[in-house]
Amino acid sequence: MISYLYLSLLFLTPGLLISGVLKTQKKFLLTSSFSVFFWSISTLILQINYLINTFFGNLFVGLIFLYWFLRFRNYQNVLYNLVFLSILELINNAFGILHIVSTFSITLEASLQNLDYISSSVNVPAVQITFLKFFNDEYFLATLPQFLGFSLLLSNSYSILNFKKIPKKYLLVIVPAFLIFCVVLEIMTIRSHFFSSQILCFLIIETLKNKENRLSENIFFIFLCLFLSSRLENYYLYYPLLLLILTKYIEFEDKQNSKIYLKLLSATSIPILINFNSLSGGDDIRGDIRISIALILILNIFIFFKDKLLMTFLYNYINYFFALGIAGLAFTNFVLYDFKALHSWLFLVTHLLDTHRGWVIATLYFLLLIIYLISYSNKVFEVKVFVNVFLTFALIIISSPLHHSIYGYEQWSTGIIDGIAIYNFFDESQTRSFLQLFLSILPLSLVIIKSNKENMEI
Amino acid sequence: MKNFNFKIRISSLIFLIFLLTYLIILFTTYGVSHYTNSEVKFLEDNFSKAIPNIYSCNFDYFSINKHISHGEFEHVRFRKIITTNEDCFGKIAYTGITPGTNFDDIDPGSYLEFGVNQKLGYVLWLFEKNFLIFLFIFSTLLLLQSRFVKQNFFKYFLILIFIYSLVNFDVQNMYINSSKHYFPSENSKSVNLLNNWFLQND
């Protein structure tokens, strides 16, 4: 018990301090995200690990906690987070709710290297490595991914409920998704997909809000930074959506205020530094750090010159260009890989439509959600966002040959499909990306349930 | 409002048409003759409460599933495998159990694996009765939504998903390649994590 409390406070202290500084003490559900933001920097600046694995480091964190406690006196914040984390830990220790997969061992390997002040080139994101850094001889704080994911899920849901003035009981609307077995299985792993999905949802909600209802832009940019740090593939899969969201978000801001562009540049480039070692490892496209740097530069240039004619034209037709890009990628894949590309797409479709573990239910639910969200939106921008989400789904499927050509091993190179089980190494990463996308828009289903058309906007 | 009515009507209809088209393609690939139960009857007559002799895709997924369900085993797994052999679409490819073994001689808790052949891109919905019921209600709701556009049917979809997922949760809570369940997982408890990953690796 003492070990558990010790580790929990060690994890939460930076978040408590950041929430105090940013004056979000009453937003209890965001505190853990601030914490993971701070600790994820420890994959780059290895000396930060000193605070986790040495007595004097712990003592220093303890003093910071004491300072926070005396300075801000926000007892509810720490109490809420401790209780929520305790509940998850208690449930896990009583029933065993986590799903331990091979990712656990490679992530733990990276965490241990970091705690030994060695940088790790295992290509898992910094946020995921941070999940496994909080243990001692007596206790292993294992439910951090779930704690972070559910905290942010609740935060996003409450945010929508409050602005729409929907009764709290409607929170039940999101429950059915968490009974779909493949969803349960994914959120119970030590991976960052669930957390990442909720960060994206947070960014979407903040962008859809009116300026006066938004949280401080510093918080938005911290979450943007966290989103790009939380999954290495987020740079690629969500690039058009980020272009869309960021252009809109900055639209309200003072165009002469250069600070916001500096913040944007920092928020988008710091993740490259945080994930520098992870981005340099691995065999796939994510392992080429030059592409990530180029993408971030283009994104910043696009936003900076968003009022220019060319950029306005691109922004107005962004989904058309995105769809054209996907078609181009499909054609390129087919030229490069021939019938093997077709096999990849069909494998993925078969997996997503199969009844086992409820994959088909998740797929139908996602498509249904898109249909309702598009139909209920009466603003052009909202429709654009949801169409873009659908196109991202198409991108996940179409890009699968690029992934399979690296991880499909012998079956891929020979093009053999006979005798291959539909649940195999070919498609797991892509299907996980799909679940991340699905969970990203799940809290928005609260907007649909109270179907008063005049009351649809967030 | 008009705009909304139009959008929900069109999108529901498009979704429904896609679903039905795919279903028709599945009909032409796999057929629905298994619902006549003739193969199930054949299995009952010749292999009453015993494991049948499976060879050259002689039995389909639906019949074997129904036949094996009489044994009330806890860990029956159907591993779905891709084939290009048209004669084997929807058929059982193999089993690890000796043909002729009586159900009474098999421990109800033992792991029974069957391989099911399927065509790449064409799932086996037509052999899975529970899912067909789900799909029927789902399609009906889509149809109703496109007809009665002023009503919001989203909550009914949610109720349907909730019930289906709840009913099937136990069945899905199983590893495909062993008799183990995903949850509860002893390995994930704090003490076991420490034991498995640190003490044993010292």
CB atoms within 10 A of CB A425: 13
Range of the domain at B160: 2-29+127-187
Expressed in angstroms, the distance from the first to the final Cα of chain A is 42
pLDDT tens-digit map of B104-142:
999 988 899 999 999 999 999 999 999 999 999 999 999
pLDDT tens digits along A301-320? 999 998 899 999 999 999 99
Do you find a cis peptide bond into B184, omega within 30 degrees of 0? yes
Tell me which chain A residues have a C-beta less than 8 angstroms from the C-beta of B125: 353, 355, 360
Q: Which of B75, B91, B121 is the last residue of a domain?
A: B121
Domain that holds residue A306: 143-458
Average pLDDT over residues B43-53: 87
pLDDT, position A324? 98
pLDDT range class, residue A440, cuts 50, 70, 90: very high
Give yes or no: residues B179 and B153 share one domain.
Answer: yes
- Cα B169 to chain centroid distance, Å, stands at 12
Assign A252 a pLDDT band (cuts: 50, 70, 90).
low
- The answer to whether A185 contacts chain B (CB < 8 Å) is yes
Whether A135 and A147 map to the same domain: the answer is: no
Q: How many domains does chain A have?
A: 2
Among all residues of chain B, which has the CA nearest to that of A4?
B190
> Are A89 and A166 part of one and the same domain?
no
C-alpha span between A227 and A270 (Å, rounded): 11
- Total domains present in chain B: 2
- Chain A residue closest to B115 (CA)? A421
Spatial distance between the Cα atoms of B193 and A138, rounded to a whole number of angstroms: 11
pLDDT at res. B118: 96
| Claim to verify: residue B42 and residue B117 sit in the same structural domain | yes
In a domain, B69, yes or no: yes
Nearest to B4 among A93, A445, A453 (CB): A453
Query: What pLDDT does residue A455 have?
Result: 47
Nearest Cα of chain A lies from the Cα of B165 at a distance, in angstroms, of 5
Say whether B190 and A93 touch across the interface (CB within 8 A): yes
Q: Which residues 19-58 of chain B have a CB within 8 Å of chain A?
A: none
- Domain finish residue from B97, B121, B145: B121
Global ipTM: 0.95
Res B199: pLDDT: 67
Out of A106, A139, A172, a domain closes at A139
Best A351, A361, A379, A416 member to test B by mutation, with max B CBs in 10 Å, is A361
Q: Are residues A100 and A183 in the same domain?
A: no
Does the residue B198 lie in any domain? Answer: no
Q: Smallest Cβ distance to A355: which of B131, B159, B194?
A: B131
Residues 99-118 of chain B whose Cβ lies under 8 A from any Cβ of chain A: 118
Q: What is the pLDDT of residue B177?
A: 84
Q: Are residues A92 and A153 in the same domain?
A: no
Q: In 3D, which of A398, A395, A400 has the Cα closest to residue A331?
A: A398
Instruction: Indicate if A32 and A82 belong to the same structural domain.
Output: yes
Q: Strands B75-82, B111-118: parallel, antiparallel or unpaired by DSSP?
A: parallel
Closest to B158 (Cβ–Cβ): which among A176, A374, A451?
Answer: A176
Same domain, A117 and A56: yes
CATH value at residue B107: 3.30.10.20
A393/A435 Cα distance (integer angstroms) = 10
Three-state secondary-structure class, residue B48 = coil
Q: In what order do the strands lie in the sheet with B75-82?
A: B75-82, B111-118, B92-95
| B131 and B177 inside one domain | yes
Same domain, B159 and B180: yes
Residue where one domain finishes, among candidates A139, A171, A197: A139
The residues in A 389-448 lying below 8 A from B, measured between CB atoms, are: 417-423, 445, 448
- Residue B156 and residue B80 share a domain: no
Cα-flanking dihedrals φ and ψ of residue B82, to 5°? -80, 135
Residues A97 and A148 in one domain: no
% pLDDT > 70, chain B: 96
Contact A108 B184 (CB under 8 A): no
Residue type, A118: I
Residue A416 has pLDDT above 70, yes or no: yes
Residue whose C-alpha is closest to residue A46's, from A117, A128, A126, A134: A117
- The number of CA neighbours under 13 Å toward the Cβ of B28 is 5
pTM: 0.95
d(CA A56, CA A42): 17
Percent of chain A residues topping a pLDDT of 70? 96
Are residues A171 and A69 part of one domain?
no
Q: What is the pLDDT of residue A401?
A: 92
The domain boundary, picked from A98, A123, A139, lies at: A139
For testing contact with chain A, the best of B122, B160, B182, B202 (most A CBs within 10 A):
B182
Tell whether B70 and B12 lie within a shared domain: no
The band of B3, judged by pLDDT with boundaries at 50, 70 and 90, is low
Residues B117 and B134 in one domain: no
* φ/ψ of residue A63, rounded to 5: -65, -40
Considering only alpha carbons, which residue of chain B is nearest residue A371? B11
From residue A416, give the alpha-carbon distance in Å to each of A340, A344, B81. Answer: 9, 12, 13
Interface test with B, best of A166, A188, A372 (most B CBs within 10 A): A372
Q: Do A347 and B120 touch (CB under 8 A)?
A: yes
Residues A119, A148: one domain?
A: no
Three-state secondary structure call for residue A57:
helix
Q: Are residues B117 and B135 in the same domain?
A: no
Please tell me which residue of chain B has the smallest CA distance to A418.
B83
- Which of B121, B151, B174 is where one domain is finished? B121
